[in-house]
Amino acid sequence: MESLTWEIFDIMGTIAFAVSGAMVAIEKRMDVFGVIVLALLTAVGGGMVRDVLAGITPPVALCNITDFVLAMVTAALVSWLYSAGWVSHRGKRHIIWLYNICDTIGLASFTITGMLTGLAHENGNPYLLPVLLGIITAVGGGILRDIMAQRMPVVLYKDIYATASLVGALISCLLYPYIGLLGMAWLCFAVVVGLRLSALHYGWHLFHPRPNKFR
């Protein structure tokens, strides 16, 4: 059950993050090679960092070709759809909406795969490793994507992003002994997606320190 759950969310996250990476590359006017590279980096980058920190070497992505193939096919498909006008003709608002949905699904899915990896290698505190690996897996690929695209990583300044991953991972880990692994995974998915989409809809942001203009 654990292996199947991990694979389901890994596939979901890989495809979703590959779409978001490809869309950022297209926005930056990269060629098809750049689109594929950015899609791959977004899709497998966080997982590779997670595996190294968990002591899994070589990382799973380098031992199983599935994630690479999924990301490459997804990037090629997004490039073709954009060039054919299936995406671009729908308007900028719809493109932003698609990007946010895919990025949110990837965030939630990879939070879960990181947590499952942490639970499988947990040694000591039952929350620290699963929660941290969940967050690192969820945001690591996006940070690498943004750095390669020469923009400030979204996780550092915009919306409720890593915080959604943190809240979902923490709540799920706390309730894991009572709801089981499958319940924990879907609860985490629901919390992260719900919190992230609510933040986008209502314009929620974390506190931004600003100088007091009245002084």
DSSP 28: T
Q: Write down the number of H helices and E strands in the chain.
A: 6, 0
Nearest to 181 by CA among 8, 50, 5: 5
pLDDT digits (tens, 9 = 90+) for 126-139: 788 999 999 999 99
Query: How does the average pLDDT of the chain come out, rounded?
Result: 88
Each residue's pLDDT tens digit, 71-89: 999 999 999 888 877 655 5
- 86 — phi, psi (to 5°)? -70, -30
Cα(202)–Cα(199) distance, rounded to whole angstroms? 5
Q: Is 159 helix (H, G, I), strand (E, B) or coil?
A: coil
Q: Which amino acid is at 115?
A: M
Q: Which of 35-39, 82-86, 95-99 has the lowest mean pLDDT?
A: 82-86
Q: Coil, strand or helix: which one is 214?
A: coil
